[in-house]
Structure 1
């Protein structure tokens, strides 16, 4: 198990689902974790648990900037960033798709992720005000690791009625690769993970029970089940670890073979 003791980490969208599982894993591995999200009640719980809990809206640049100013003031810099935030737009065929639904998906899932990445990259060494760093960090080589959450739907496969979601997630995959090339010489490694159906509420259709979800996925997925959260977290752990020092710009698909 990689030791992340004293590593400074931020998880955007860390109040639920995969993001919350990543928060718990990083904390149990010794990292100092900042959680950026919108659920005030969960943020209060996380703050009580000892995390830096910050409310922000990915659509609001001032809100995101303020949150990361708090990260900078508390941590002095950043070593790890995991961006799990996103939205699942209303399904529908392309011919019936309201352009605003697509625009909203792109604004949240793509522009929102780029908005937080700008802040994360700055805190990992570019434009960081060294006067704010504690003395013990002044000699630390700038750099870090960023993991964005895309999806197996988008760049890897398509599915009927999910054009808005797929287009936005394909753009996240492309954004990740572009950012990886732009910033690898800054010592910042940027990669993505693209899960398939996972054991979260997002994989449950309206009116569907967990049991019905499991039965549906069992018929569709070669592995016969949804991904367990520890399986997704393990991929994130690898990509942010020192063992993955030569992994740059990859998009790791974790979907039980459905897009193979």
Structure 2
């Protein structure tokens, strides 16, 4: 038996990266998955690979009310009900605060923040009608820390965490749990658009996070599965950080800091 047997889950941004891994894992655990994205060719390919009996791809601009209504309608027509949502779709725009245009800022807000709001609003009545369900919002470490050159992304991910808490309190009486996932550095097309080798990425993160490597999309998917399954039945309204220990403290080795003869813990030189 799978952890999600009998459930229907919508995953946004499912054509690649974390969303793809979530869709594949959920299907493997027994769910029927509605994959959504604007990357139609990739999304259709992933759904086909999962299998027609387990997956369906639908185009979704998460910032469009009309698109959300169509996805809900098609999901119910295909699979009969909706039991869960993973609000995974997101974009980032890098640049200094003074150089960030209003257009770029609002574009990020539309996808990351408005898209999450519209998704929760669209599925909440369906989850309640099904007797309860789950919403997992993909936030970010950026919603908890101040990251330079990511003003719009940071703002929206902080908003996602706040909306998660508010929705969790409001929807709990209807049997709906709402949680957030806050990834740190994860090897995805958004974080690694140039397709740098994993070994190179691990080398960079070796001096940045205690676990000494970049995260894998499959690891984020496993956390999303936990929050969607009954394994987390008494958890709601929480942001779950998955960052290799980044927020616990930077793992800056003496060598990386340029210290060739570090002091011993007692303070004396070795």
Q: What is the alpha-carbon distance in structure 1 between the residues aligned to residue 21 and residue 195 of structure 2?
A: 25
TM-superposition CA deviations, 1:60-92 (whole Å, max 9, x none): 221221121101222222112111101111x22
- Measure the CA separation in 2 of the matches of 1:44 and 1:203: 23
1:184-236 CA-to-partner distances (Å, cap 9, x unmatched) read 11100000100011121222265855443332222222221011233212211
Return the alpha-carbon distance in structure 1 between the equivalents of residues 221 and 196 of structure 2: 25
Q: In terms of Rg, which structure is larger?
A: 2
Instruction: Report Cα offsets for 1:100-140 as digits up to 9, x if no partner.
Output: 22211111100011111111112112xx5xxxxxxxxxxxx
Residue 107, structure 1, aligned to residue 96, structure 2: no
Partner Cα separation in structure 1 for residue 44 and residue 19 of structure 2: 16
TM superposition score normalised by structure 1: 0.87
User: What does residue 86 of structure 1 align with?
Assistant: 90
CA distance in 2 between partners of 1:208 and 1:30 (Å): 33
Q: Which residue of 2 aligns with 1:201?
A: 189
Name the residue aligned to 1:20.
20
Instruction: Indicate yes or no: 2:69 matched with 1:65.
Output: yes
Which one of 203, 208, 211 corresponds to residue 220 of structure 1?
208
Counterpart for residue 227 of structure 2: 239
Give me the CA root mean square deviation: 1.8
User: Which residue of the partner structure matches residue 97 of structure 1?
Assistant: 100
* Cα distance in 2, alignment partners of residues 240 and 33 from structure 1: 13
State the partner residue of 1:248. 236
Q: Is the 8 A contact 2:2 2:30 kept in 1?
A: no
Gaps of 5+ in 2: 249-270
Identify if the C-alpha distance between structure 1 residues 212 and 70 changes in structure 2 by more than 3 Å, giving closer, same or farther.
same
Report the number of matched residues. Answer: 244
Unaligned 5+ runs, structure 1: 129-140
**1:77 matched to which residue of 2?**
81
8 Å contact kept, 2:135–2:178: yes
